[in-house]
Amino acid sequence: MKKLLLCTLLCFISITVLSQTQLIEEFRGVNYLVIRKDVLLPAYDTMATVENEKSSISDIRKNAVYVSLDFVFAFSINYERMFPLSNKIKLGLRGGFGYGGGNKNLGVTGEGVFLYGRSKHFMEVGVGCYYPFHYFEEGPDSPLIGIMGGYRYQSSAGFLFKVYPMFLMEVSPVEDSWGNFPSLGFALGYSF
């Protein structure tokens, strides 16, 4: 009977205190419950915990290796390094090697992108290039400059997925060239 009375009393006090709580304020970096405007109690509220668990863009992995598939070349293997510029913005620099499907060539890829977002979902906008250097059948191809914008998912476990439409322009058009054209690309990889 005493235990039941004690539990009831503790529940009543807890409900009374929590019902009189007006707001959560930050005082010198510590959250406090304001009770009756004159009593401050340290608070470990769920809102502060959720806020602290949100990772910023500087918390994501800065290195990535991935395979890109698009309509310019059959595939390319890339390495990318991220540099945080602010809490929501990063600069990414990418380099790699690709196999061009059009004229069956090998080439180098390069790209600079800006990422905007938080946690796992990002919008990216950038400029890239593809410079063919070895031809298996026909050649030479003109180097391509591309403007791209797309979506990136980068999990905290390392999985990376990108989808990006782009517009490609030839630097120095050659005879029988493709000209300027739109394209769509996909990438899968791992970040570390």
Q: Which domains does the chain show, CATH number per domain?
A: 19-53 (no CATH), 58-191 (2.40.160.20)
Q: 159-169: per-residue pLDDT in tens? A: 999 999 999 88
37 Rama sector, left if φ>0, alpha if ψ -120 to 50, beta otherwise: left
User: Strand 73-84 relative to strand 181-191: parallel, antiparallel, unpaired?
Assistant: unpaired
Cβ atoms of residues 166 and 147 within 8 Å: yes
pLDDT band for position 21 (cuts 50, 70, 90): very low
Predicted pLDDT at 51: 43
Q: What pLDDT is stored for residue 55 in this prediction?
A: 53
pTM, to two decimals: 0.66
Q: CA separation (Å) from 59 to 37, 56, 83, 107, 192?
A: 38, 5, 11, 33, 12
The share of the chain scoring above pLDDT 70, in percent, equals 60
Q: Evaluate if residue 4 carries a pLDDT over 60.
A: no
Cβ(9)–Cβ(22) under 8 Å? no
- Local confidence band at 23 (pLDDT 50, 70, 90 cut-offs): very low
The pLDDT, as a whole number, for residue 180 is 82
